[in-house]
Amino acid sequence: MGRLTERVAIVTGAAGGIGAAVARLLAAEGAAVVVADVRDTEGAELAAELGDRAPSVALDVTSEDGWQRAVAEVERELGPVSVLVNNAGIAAWGPMEEQSLESFRQVIDVNLQGPWLGMRAVAPSLRRSGGGVIVNISSLAGLTAYAGIGSYAASKWGLRGLTKTAALELAPDGIRVCSVHPGAIRTPMTADFDDSYTSGQPIPRFGEPEEVARMVLFVVTEATFSTGSEFVLDGGVLAGPPVVVSSKDDAEY
């Protein structure tokens, strides 16, 4: 029997990349997993792969009405939600001065407003299930600055703060809220980056979506004394600058 048998989970952005890996792992652990994505065709294909207890829901995470409809549909079909994984996200590349206001707002709407709407919509269902867990997929860019992705970094730093606020507000209801901060993960979002992008990391490779999924599962099932906490998968980037030591007396910085 899996660790999530009889649990109901919603995973946003589940049609591919990290979201699909999370959906597969939670389903393998026995959860009924709602594959929620604006890409409804790809979402339906994954849902079919996962089986009868994995319905797909077409969901634009920036729509308050969409969230309300999705949660109501899930409760009718499966019962109260006990796990929410806010994974849906987008990025826009380029200097701040070259990004349009429309593009900036779109990134903020999906990456920050989306999880905010999701937590508001799902919280009553989590209470009805007797408590639960919300996992917000932030980013390494929510912990340190990166040039060229201002709107993305702003959204992920904001999600970090929103996570901590929600953790404080929902703790009395037995609801834990944590954030997961992946670094360079091999997904469609990073498809244009070659291996040189990660060569300076202590772990000099891209992470895999399945590694993020295992961290999400740990937060949901094992980190039971953690809320408002940040869980990092960055290949060691935040540990500090790389040091190459050629002898005891000679270190190159």
Write out pLDDT tens, residues 108-138: 999 999 999 999 999 999 999 999 999 999 9
Task: Please report, for the chain, the start and end positions of each structural domain, with discontinuous segments joined by +.
Answer: 8-252
Residue keyed to tokens 């349009």: 100
At 46, give phi and psi (nearest 5°): -65, -40
Question: Are 232 and 181 a contacting pair, CB within 8 Å?
Answer: yes
User: What pLDDT was estimated at residue 193?
Assistant: 84
What gap in Å lies between CA 66 and CA 70, rounded to an integer? 6
The catalytic residue positions are 152
The pLDDT assigned to 50 comes to: 96
Q: How many CA atoms lie within 13 A of 179 on its CB side?
A: 25
Query: What is the percentage of the chain residues whose pLDDT exceeds 90?
Result: 89
User: What is the per-residue pLDDT for 20?
Assistant: 98
Which residues make Cβ contacts (< 8 Å) with residue 56, sequence separation at least 6?
Answer: 34, 35, 36, 37, 40, 43, 44, 46, 47
- How would residue 252 be classed by pLDDT, with cut points 50, 70 and 90? very low
Asked whether the predicted pLDDT for residue 253 surpasses 50, the reply is no
Predicted confidence band at 241 (pLDDT cuts at 50, 70, 90)?
A: confident
Asked if residue 28 has pLDDT above 60, the reply is yes
Helical H segments across the chain, by residue range: 17-28, 40-50, 64-78, 101-108, 114-128, 150-170, 209-221
Q: Considering the domain 8-252, what is its CATH architecture? A: 3-Layer(aba) Sandwich (3.40)
**Counting beta carbons within 10 angstroms of the beta carbon of residue 194, is it exposed (0 to 12), middle (13 to 18) or buried (19 or more)?**
exposed
Q: What is the pTM of this model?
A: 0.94
